[in-house]
Amino acid sequence: MEEANGISITEWRVNYSETDQMGVVYHARYLVWFDRARTEHLRSTGLSYAELERLGYRLAVGEARVRYRQPAKYDDLVTIRCWVRDLASRRIVFGYAVTRPGDDTLLATAETSLMVLDSAFRWTRLPAAVTDRLRPIPDPVRL
């Protein structure tokens, strides 16, 4: 996992259990990949979901939008780039781009909007110590 200019990079090898009978990645698996990339992006800033939960915060996905462009297939190596698109006191929007590094084909783009909740699942605000680590950047690709 690397990070450059506010973009974290996670690589993943498509395994057989993620594909359908045609050997193409099942569409819902991308959401799992985005969760993994988002978790690693937070970790790269010095935060983790576990740390946020210890502090009494929860990040719950409120919206997800995916644009499938080309299929990922069994045994492909994929790269998932993740970044913060927008940040408010009670919401974080992450962007994603999935590519096949061998030929740099853009496979999918997406965004997820996460709500900030307290441990009782009520809306709350993230403290400045957290938001200071999450800097929004312009999208590196068209979503």
At 126 the three-state DSSP class reads coil
Q: What is the DSSP letter of 122?
A: -
Rounded to the nearest 10 degrees, how much is the dihedral formed by the CA atoms of 108, 25, 15, 42? 30
What length is written for the chain? 143
d(CA 117, CA 125): 8
**Where in the sequence numbering do the catalytic residues fall?**
20
d(CA 25, CA 76): 10
